[in-house]
Amino acid sequence: MKEIILLKNGELALKGLNRHTFENQLVKNMKFRLHDLGKIRYTNSQSTIIVEPIDERVDLDEAFRRILKIFGIAGISRCAAVEKDMNEILPAACDYLRDELIMAKTFKVEAKRSDKKFPFNSPQICMEVGGAILEKYPHLTVDVHNPELIVNVEIRDKFAYIHGNQVKGAGGMPVGTAGQAAILISGGIDSPVAAWMMARRGLKLVGIHFASPPYTSVRAEMKVHSLLKQVSKYSGEIPLYVVPFTHIQEEIKDKCPEDLFTLVMRRFMMRCSEAIAKKNGCGALITGESVGQVASQTMQAMNCTEAVVESLPIFRPLVGMDKDEVIERARKIGTFETSIQPYEDCCTVFTPKHPRTKPQIWQLEEAEKALDINALVEEALAETKFLTITGE
């Protein structure tokens, strides 16, 4: 009995004439993520993608695990693929789903007949398969409203596919279909979640991290590597730029008012990030900011921060979320435990005791007159380190 993985596209099915562009990108992403597992055939058919191993060494369990984290897929099912013959379908339905049928108390059969030449219609298929299952597993009862197990039979162009309950996929859009954006990634809880959320909307990510040795440790940077490795299990590989930020922070501490330090620092981060983003062809910057979470994330403060970005929009996917919601998402995607490790990033360096929460842009511009902005940015960019992060 041949076993395959059947994927439901979900949101992609709503696309118009360019739907195949999205589906092709999804297949490309899957090929990249599964390439080391062996030879696999990918077939687009009727808002689904069939993932079919074509050599015996393919680990279907591992393929299924990886596919669960690929954006653009609404539902995933492991299926038995059999000939379109009721003499093949009935025993396959009973045997392939044996473990699930033994454990369940109630079930129902759902059938879809894409091949209209098949001699049984959908209600007839349900009756035949349901009868065969009840005969072999008499402990079961039929529940058409809230069954524990749904036995699915799909009659398609080449085979009949039999599977149990569909597993929910990662959803969203295939990474790469919405362009590329740069995520300002710290070692905290918020920015990895923001990265995941924008990758889920089809954005390919470029990471930018600011390091301030000796005030921040190597472990703080390695923490960021670990966070991006986890995100990259969903988004694919992530180029990471590590920007040396010590000199800039020391200059700000020595020459700017203390209550404006954090905001001046963030404006420099934005300047450096915009330059890196444009160099990489990115169409936006992404941050993990949420309104009112800290002093630098009031509306007035965020306005002052983004004022130095000349040509790119800034995406803030967490802007309306509270901390509990962000933590819940961080736990779901597997970044929370790493984020709470006690290795602090440069945002905690020289933190003012009483930061200004309602600053005006002119106040920041006046404070920055004491700094050689262009020289500091150019120096940081010249010494920036580059590496590539991958989760597989």
Please say which residue of 152, 170, 188 terminates a domain: 170
- Whether the pLDDT of residue 149 is over 80: the answer is yes
Query: Could you list the residue range(s) of the whole structural domain that residue 212 is in?
Result: 180-389
* Domain membership flag for residue 284: yes
What's the whole-number average pLDDT of the chain?
Answer: 93
Mean pLDDT of the region 277-300: 91
Q: What is the CATH number of the domain that holds 50?
A: 3.30.2130.30
Higher pLDDT, 55 or 360: 360
* Domain membership flag for residue 285: yes
In this prediction, residue 29 has a pLDDT band, given cuts at 50, 70 and 90, of: very high
Residues 87 and 206 in one domain: no
In this prediction, residue 196 has a pLDDT band, given cuts at 50, 70 and 90, of: very high
Residues 140 and 214 in one domain: no
Burial status of residue 51 (CB atoms within 10 A of its CB: 0-12, 13-18, 19 or more): buried
Residue-wise pLDDT for 223-255, tens only, equals 999 999 999 999 999 999 999 999 999 999 999
Please say which residue of 170, 197, 225 terminates a domain: 170
In this prediction, residue 157 has a pLDDT band, given cuts at 50, 70 and 90, of: confident
In this prediction, residue 376 has a pLDDT band, given cuts at 50, 70 and 90, of: very high
- Whether the pLDDT of residue 303 is over 70: the answer is yes
- Whether the pLDDT of residue 207 is over 90: the answer is yes
Residue 1 corresponds to which tokens in the numbers above? 């009995």
CB 129 within 8 A of CB 86: no
What percentage of the chain reaches a pLDDT higher than 70? 99
Residues 269 and 317 in one domain: yes
Residues 161 and 192 in one domain: no
- Whether the pLDDT of residue 13 is over 80: the answer is no
Residues 185 and 135 in one domain: no
Residues 158 and 265 in one domain: no
Residues 108 and 203 in one domain: no
What percentage of the chain reaches a pLDDT higher than 90? 80
Spacing of C-alpha 328 from chain mean position: 15
Residues 63 and 186 in one domain: no
Spacing of C-alpha 216 from chain mean position: 28
Residue whose entry in the numeric block shows the structure tokens 């106040």: 363
Angstrom distances, CA of residue 385 to CA of 194, 273, 278 = 23, 13, 17
Mean pLDDT of the region 358-387: 96
Residue whose entry in the numeric block shows the structure tokens 């036995």: 151
In this prediction, residue 145 has a pLDDT band, given cuts at 50, 70 and 90, of: very high
Q: What's the pLDDT at 383?
A: 97
Residue-wise pLDDT for 84-114, tens only, equals 999 999 999 999 999 999 999 999 999 999 8
3-state secondary structure string across the chain: CEEEEEEECHHHHHCCCCHHHHHHHHHHHHHHHHHHHCCEEEEEECCEEEEEECCCCCCHHHHHHHHCCCCCEEEEEEEEEECCCHHHHHHHHHHHCHHHHHHCCEEEEEEEECCCCCCCCHHHHHHHHHHHHHHHCCCCEECCCCCCEEEEEEECCCCEEEECCCEEEEECECCCCCCEEEEECCCCCHHHHHHHHHHCECCEEEEEEEECCCCCCHHHHHHHHHHHHHHHHHHCCEEEEEEECHHHHHHHHHHCCHHHHHHHHHHHHHHHHHHHHHHCCCCCEECCCCCCCCHHHCHHHHHHHHCCCCCCCEECCCCCCCHHHHHHHHHHHCCHHHHCCCCCCHHHCCCCCCCCCCCCHHHHHHHHCCCCHHHHHHHHHHCCEEEEECCC
* Domain membership flag for residue 278: yes
* Domain membership flag for residue 189: yes
- Whether the pLDDT of residue 45 is over 90: the answer is no
* Domain membership flag for residue 45: yes
Burial status of residue 124 (CB atoms within 10 A of its CB: 0-12, 13-18, 19 or more): middle
Q: What's the pLDDT at 88?
A: 95
Instruction: Provide the whole-model pTM.
Output: 0.90
- Whether the pLDDT of residue 164 is over 90: the answer is yes
Residues 150 and 221 in one domain: no
Window from 112-116, 130-134, 227-231, 285-289 with minimum mean pLDDT: 112-116
* Domain membership flag for residue 175: no
* Domain membership flag for residue 127: yes
Please say which residue of 112, 138, 170 terminates a domain: 170
In this prediction, residue 392 has a pLDDT band, given cuts at 50, 70 and 90, of: low
Residues 201 and 345 in one domain: yes
Residues 113 and 231 in one domain: no
Residues 165 and 217 in one domain: no
- If one counts the domains in the chain, the total is 2
* Domain membership flag for residue 29: yes
Q: What is the CATH number of the domain that holds 263?
A: 3.40.50.620
Window from 186-190, 326-330, 368-372 with minimum mean pLDDT: 186-190
Measured in degrees and rounded to the nearest 5, phi and psi for residue 111 equal -130, 140
